[in-house]
Structure 1
Amino acid sequence: MITDQKKFITGHSHLAETVKWLDAIIFSSNPDGSEYYFITEAVEKIIGITPDMIIQNPKVLLGFLLPEYVTLFRDFVAEVRKGNNKSIEYKIINARNEEVFLRHSAYPIFSEDRLVRVDGIIYDITREKTNSLLLQKSEERFRTLFETAEDLIFMLNSAGNFIMINTNGALSLEYSPNELLGRHFLELVDNKSKPEIAKSFQKILRTNKIETFEAELVTKYAKNIFFEINATSTKENGVIDSVLAIGRNITSRIRDREKYKELYNKLIEANRIISIERDRAKQKISVLEELNRLKNEFVSNVSHELRTPLASIIGFSETIHADQNLPEEMRIEFNSIILDEAKRLSRLINNVLEISQIEDGAIDLQKSQFNVVESLKSIIDASIPKSDEKEITLSINIADEEIAIFADRERIEQSIENVISNAIKFTPPKGRVTILAKKLFKEFELIISDTGIGIPKKDLPYVFQKFYKVSRPGDHTPGTGLGLVFVKNIIDLHKGLITVQSEEGKGTTVVIKLPLKNK
């Protein structure tokens, strides 16, 4: 006489072949679980014991169950014995001493209204559980960031009404979050700014790009606050349905900007006085030297005044930027534009300070060997959006070979970026900027030409003079007049050479030569 187990195996021999490739435990047992008719080899991978061990001793499985799940498992077994399909999730310590999460489903099988066996399947859901816990932690971190951030963080529906806003952001506007939910964003915007802000949001809802703009918002108690807002659209099922935005309070920055304009005008006036005194140098050398000292001191003061607000902007941005637990999409959204803009202004200030350091002989070059071609390509890639905006054609001819130089990488990159930026800035729309780079004997040679407005002949001798601004009829392009001064000083410190050739109305060519690696 053969046993029930042998009957099952004889009648279902095809089952083993069908399911053995599944990454789950398939089993069949008698109603009380005291005898297993069939169990797949996956039990060895998941639990660490062989099917034969379970068939010989069915109770061995219970030994892996953690104590806190015993009651749950007993209730599960009781429900199955009542004839109910049932699924549970529990954790075990397998034979390899590993924590494993399992999803156990059991299905009672009846014959002539009598429970004859239980079939089931057990999945290893450890990875699923781990990912779920990681997602939960990530959401908790995001929620903490959202609620503790000093910035104004909010979401609007497609109609422009608030559907989410962080507590600190609402408080900065002297509201509670609940007071703002459902209200239209434009209700908070100063009347003179509303048309432009409305256009910005309409543009956001038409594209997936991040838009940056300044908005003057009015608080609950009629106080005006300036915000720099970075906003982008979000999609639901492929359709744009909302706007996510972060706003940084830049009221202090706006005040500093006005102060900077005032100080800069004073700087221009100081420069004018110095130019006059230069013509009288033979008679008034002592006066000229004193004015020059005052001018350098003035530049230093201007820069330090601007660095104070910028330091907080950059510091906060870099802190968020360095948080590796923040999802990439959120990191880009919260940091990139703010950080890039702050660093751009910071570089302007550093140029002023570094020129003074260079003149005093106090600058310390951080030299290392690097591939200048790689740096040049990165700078060109970063310049493409500006050239595309003006429909300027970039004609690039760069050697494919590595060209190594021994130099201060950061300052050389700043210098090259400055020249390329100037070429694009002073080239009219649909013009051309040509960049040629090659190794020439023992030098790296970079030639940057443009079809821009050119430099008047009378101004060419002074392009490397500190604070000198070229006068071009009809041109009101902003600038400090320090860019080429900084570039020349840096190139000179590296024992290189920079020359400028230009013809008014036809364009400018800048040639930079740097010695190859030479420690």
Structure 2
Amino acid sequence: MEPTENFFRSIVEASPFPVYMCMGEDKLIAIANDATLKAWGKDKSVIGKPFDEALPDLKGQPFSTLISEVYKTGETYYGNNEPAEFIINGKRQVNYFKFTFQAVRNSRDKIVGVICFSTDVTEIEHARQAMEESRQTLYNMVKQAPIGICIINSDNLVIEMVNDSYLELVGRKRIEMENRGIWDAIPEAADLYAPVMDNVIETGQPITAKEHKLLLVRNGIPEMVFVDFVYEPIRGFDGEISAIMVIAIDVTEKFLARRKIEEAEERARLAVEAAEIGTFDLDLITDELLTSEKFNKIFGFERNVPHDLFVKALHPDDIELRDNAHKAALVSGKLFYEARIIWPDGSTHWIRAQGKVYYGSINKPLRILGTLLDITEFKHLQQQKDDFISVASHELKTPMTSIKASMQLLDRLIKVDPSSDKIPQFINRGNSSLNKMQQLVDSLLNVSKITAGQLTLYKTNFLASQMISECCDHVRLAGTHELELTGDTELELYADRQRIDQVVVNFVNNAVKYAPESNRIIINISKQDDMVKISVQDFGKGIPAEKIPHLFERYYRVDTSGIQYSGLGLGLYISAEIIDRHGGQMGVESEIGKGSTFWFTIPLN
């Protein structure tokens, strides 16, 4: 049963959406509910008027033509977000509608009019346009961005947009990227990055990475690169993820440059550690001092301590020197001084401080960065050298004076009494002095050869006992000491006889020199596995334990009683080098009041 006209009108009037109906070819407005009149900006006076007459605002717009077309053909027309311009309250206004134009037929199936069902989607369309405008703005920004950006559809992973920077990063042409699946375009990155993208799409959470290592095939060539990247989800108007924006920056050069700097810093750190150098950073504004572990150890501290404790550790006589050096550094920009410090245990050490002053914008000194070196051993060696020069001068001067005196006396005797029986005595005295000078010069030459690595060995086979007996004849002839040769007297050596002779003579001479009150010296020969050991034992006062570690140093001379002995302090140093060249070892055992035993070992063959 068909509804009555009044029932139909009541349904239309009750609709919250615009509904109107035009009748006949003239398109007379037969029905227009309140929602329609509000959308048109009209009142009920338009009802009964032709569509074109009632709505002159729509002239030139497609609606009148569409109604006529539906009236003639009977085919329904669907409009989607179509704009309609009206003058409402004196102002031109554009609204958007989603609508349907549908033919109205009578009981004989004849078309008598056209009914329109519509929905005002203006707000939705404005939002969509705003979204599209934002998207277009984003795309324009992407194109112009100096960093690589690629926008990928989240449904099919097809690349929607890619800028030139991204193309350069991945080494592809635009035709190889746009409108293609991302993993088809860059297959070498799929294993690593496909799970990342899937996670972003699934969770909606962006993912960021720094200096990510990646193998890319760029322009056909595999290259290892490092990239910073962000996978950022893009949401549509409905809040759903519609795309993924990939932002990538090639940081390979920065990464490699930083790694070079880090490697250089590490090498510098290792070099500083290897060189036993301490470092410091002194803030001239706050007086705060930052020190390295080695710096603290050079000062005798096991931990960081305040600045004033380092200053207090300076020797009282060197504090003014340090203060003057710091004052001069503020003017010259360079800090340098050498000073003594006193450790917590009371021992004295030498330091060398060097640094550079850094200035602020107004040329105000801000900080000093520098290094600290323990030069105690250097100062000790320097003192030894000074002592050596003094001793060498004295040692050479004595025989030279003797020779000069002998020559002067010989000159007088020859003139006065050429046959005098004293002439041979003066000649022998001069020869003795010359021999002593020869020994001194030989010692200096040996040190020079050792330093230059030119100490050559000439090895032969010989009996150890025979060599010892021959080299020690001068002691037996002097008659002041008794020599006892013990051990394996049949042991044969393969070594440089002259050099081993030199070592044994040095041991025996030292026993005579430093143990004059003991007239007994024991020389022992023994075999230890594939080595031979020769030792020289005296029964003198012995050597203090603190002096033993220095015995084989250059220029070191043992003085246990205040007595000044002759010699250059080179004998044991040269002996140790000779034994080392033979592949052996040298050592000493000593006990105060009981004497000392010097020994060395060398291979039998």
TM-score, normalization: structure 1? Answer: 0.46
More strand by share: 2
TM-score scaled to structure 2, two decimals? 0.40
Decide which structure has greater helix share: 1
